[in-house]
Chains A and B, each alone.
Chain A
Amino acid sequence: MKKRVLAGFFLSLSLVLSACSGGGTAPAEQGKSAEGQAKTELIVAAEQEPVGYDPHKVPAASSVRVYALIYDSLTKLDENMNIIPNLAEKWEIAPDGKTVTMFLQKGVKFHNGKDMTAEDVKFSFERIMNPDTGSIAKSYFSSVEAIEVKDPTTVVFKLKNADASFVANTASAYASIVPTGSTDLTKEAIGTGPFKMEKSESGQYVLLKKNADYFNKELPKVESIKFQIMKDEAERLAAIRSGKVDISMVSADSAKLLEGKPGVQIKNYQSLEYSYLGINVNKKPFDNPKVREAISYAVDRNQIIQTVWKGEATLTGPIAPALTNSALDPATYPTYKTDVEKAKQMLAEAGYPNGFETQIETAATYPDMVETAQVIQQQLKAIGINAKINQLEWGNYIETWKSKDMNLMVGRNTSGVDADRSMRFFFSTTGSANVWNYSNPAYDELVQKALTTVDQGERKKLYDEAQTMLVADAPNLFLASPKNYYAVRDNIDFTPSAAGEVYSLIKTSIK
């Protein structure tokens, strides 16, 4: 209660403040982009305000898209989900899989002029693995036993066991390399990345300036990037049409509207995201697997795809279909077949012949989540489950997610670039993002075994088994993996891909 009172107070305070500061910048900005002067600033519409820039602490997508431009990780992924060098120019894995040696790029400097060395890498990983940091990526590196600095450009990771996803995990923005001695990264953001933090105005914009000393001399191609905060889709649409912003994520509906409009191009890609219905397996009546199975039979995923995503999404399991070599075909999951009668019967077997009352929590800021919640609510009604929808303000939503005390919750996850993240990170008993109180020793064992299996064919088999088990246990219903749409102005060379916005933004140029 106290928290809520406090939240209420800050909400009103922030409203007062934003009312005071709003609208001051618009005229100046228009003046700047006047013709005659070559445009060098890329303006990106941001649908959500960043909530801090500490890469080891803040997992919110609104923050990642900014700090991943400021910091670099050891490796990164390309459009096809292959691991490619970044700060580490190459790496070696010992035959037993227990030692990984990373060779760093030479001459990389932080934004404050200091050299980036093996010490910084060691410091960064130790900071991530320190429980006090509370890093979301801690579980990515749970297999790391020791980190040794061999020389200023060589780091050796000693692993407790072979970890097939270790190198892929170093590509995560959550595993960014920060300067040695960093304590409070909320106040300053000093990385090695292609852009430097220039200015951040709460509720208005975040301005990043090009890092002239970036180790890849050819990049980035623009002088600065400005994230203009526009929470409202209609506002973003108007802005991209008028050319006030250059790049904006848009919904499938808006993409249809913008198609063929002069000056704007629509680009899409199959995202790594999926929407889900989270179920708290500790709460009655959801602690009964039969109830969860009944819910799975009651939910018609195709209706969600048609209604919420207008057909522009695909069925998904716990691993998004964009990860083609790990994802299991959803057709193999028996509970994906909608069968209201069977669902009713299961509910009766579980001791709820007349259904029950419950709540679905969702975020008011994301219309797709609110719509998904409404479709699910309607479908659950058919088997007697009366769910009340609670749309929460974003901060409140995150708090509820963390609380592990929700009933049902609609949300969206990024499946990650490796099966290990999709599986262990979200659903193992100790997984950092397992807020559903799901704990199945057999599942834990499977994903742990998959992690230490270096043979890819064997590994795939284990993950197939784990996916089937997870869908049957249903701590989450995996619903749909949408295509993501970007509206891009004609004069901007921007190609989005599943590798992420940052990967594309760095290469973006203005024609």
Chain B
Amino acid sequence: MSTFRKRFLANKTAVFCSILLALLCLTAVLAPVLAPHDPTQMFQDHRMEGSSGEFLLGTDQFGRDLLSRIIYGARVSLVVGLSAVLVSVVFGTLFGLIAGYFGRWIDGFIMRCMDVLFAFPEILLALAIVAVLGPGTFNTIMAIGIVNIPIFTRTVRGAVLSIKNLEYVESARAIGASTPRILFQEILPNVTAPLLVQSSLAISGAILTESALSFLGLGIQPPDPSWGGMISEARRYMELAPGMIIWPCVAMTVTILACNMFGDAVRDILDPRHRGK
């Protein structure tokens, strides 16, 4: 682990991105302290204003403070992104372990189901799930979570296949370890590396999907601020109040970029083929 830490600290991108992400998390957690106003409070006399001392990034069509909405929006994005990925990681890992370890018809059955899910474009499947469950934060998380399950299942299954016949697994089996013990204590720790890389990439995907759903009005419901929803609303006022669309876009771009670059960097660090560069 100490070698991992050394390599991590030596990788400038990884360090820079993790600082950015940490700041973002901090913003999300401290939103009530940082935000100058209640994100849903409407200042009737300050509709669609530019930057000012009171409203640093200006206001939207209802006179709500944009900065506060973006800060609270970070919360929504991160909560949805992380929870959705957690859902996919839990189910994906479980399915992947079972499919990879037991093989035969169980493997066939699980992987064919995953292929079916895979066959749908991501956003289309998420839309269909939301249409069935109804809009809302929890349902958005579930929809995005379900959509991402196949990727994790595949990742974990692949890793399990290459690990399950190694000597240490054989020996665990030889001393009579139970199947759950072998699965969760012997094999699982060794698939964490690909899982970590996949997760950090999936988070940015999940944030994007959430924005897309909110953009279509089917994700986070107003007046809760969500970057995607803000962009969607601002679109109609693009020329009257450009700040309304620019700032959420900037916030989103920075976050997605940080997540993606962080994921790439972690992969470089963990992947033996990239070492020594």
A residues contacting B by CB (< 8 A) are: 4-5, 7-9, 11-12, 15-16, 233-234, 251, 253-254, 256-257, 303, 306-307, 364-365, 367, 370-371, 373-375, 377-378, 381, 388-393, 396
Contacts and interface: CB of A to CB of B under 8 A. Distances in A.
A12 B117 CA distance: 13
Given A12-B120, A364-B218, A390-B134, A253 B236 contact: yes
A8 B132 contact: yes
Contacts of B62: 307, 371, 374-375, 378
Q: SS class of chain B's interface: helix, strand, loop or mixed?
A: loop
List the 4 closest A-B pairs by CB distance, nearest first: A364-B217, A8-B131, A8-B132, A12-B128
Contact of A15 (B47, B124, B132): B124
B113 to A, nearest CB: 17
B140 to A, nearest CB: 12
B135 A234 contact: no
A303 B61 CA distance: 12
A458 to B, nearest CB: 43
Nearest to A395: B131
Contacts of B131: 4, 7-8, 11-12, 393, 396
B61 A390 contact: no
Interface in B174-221: 216-218, 221
Contacts of B40: 378, 381
Interface string B211-241: 0000011100111000000000101111110
A485 B61 CA distance: 19
B61 A364 contact: no
B98 interface: no
19 contacts: A4-B132, A4-B133, A7-B132, A11-B128, A251-B236, A253-B240, A256-B240, A307-B63, A367-B233, A367-B236, A373-B222, A375-B62, A378-B41, A381-B40, A389-B221, A389-B223, A390-B134, A390-B221, A396-B131
Given A307-B44, A375-B62, A378-B62, 6 more contacts: A12-B128, A307-B42, A371-B62, A378-B223, A390-B135, A392-B135
A11 B223 contact: no
Contacts of A234: 235-236, 238
> Considering residues B41, B129, B133, B223, which has the most beta carbons from chain A within 10 angstroms of its beta carbon?
B223
A119 B34 CA distance: 74
B127 interface: yes
Interface string B19-41: 00000000000000000000011
A389 B220 CA distance: 10
Contacts of A392: 135
Contacts of B129: 8
Contacts of B240: 253, 256-257
Contacts of A8: 128-129, 131-132
Contacts of B223: 374, 377-378, 389
Given A253-B240, A378-B40, A378-B42, A5 B132 contact: yes
B125 interface: yes
B152 to A, nearest CB: 22
A7 B128 CA distance: 8
B96 to A, nearest CB: 26
B132 A257 contact: no
Contacts of B136: 388, 390
Nearest to A359: B221
Contacts of A5: 132
A7 B129 CA distance: 10
A391 B216 CA distance: 10
A8 B134 CA distance: 10
Given A11-B128, A375-B62, A378-B40, A233 B236 contact: yes
Contacts of B128: 8-9, 11-12
A312 B233 CA distance: 20
Given A4-B134, A375-B42, A393 B236 contact: no
Interface in B126-176: 127-129, 131-136
B44 A306 contact: yes
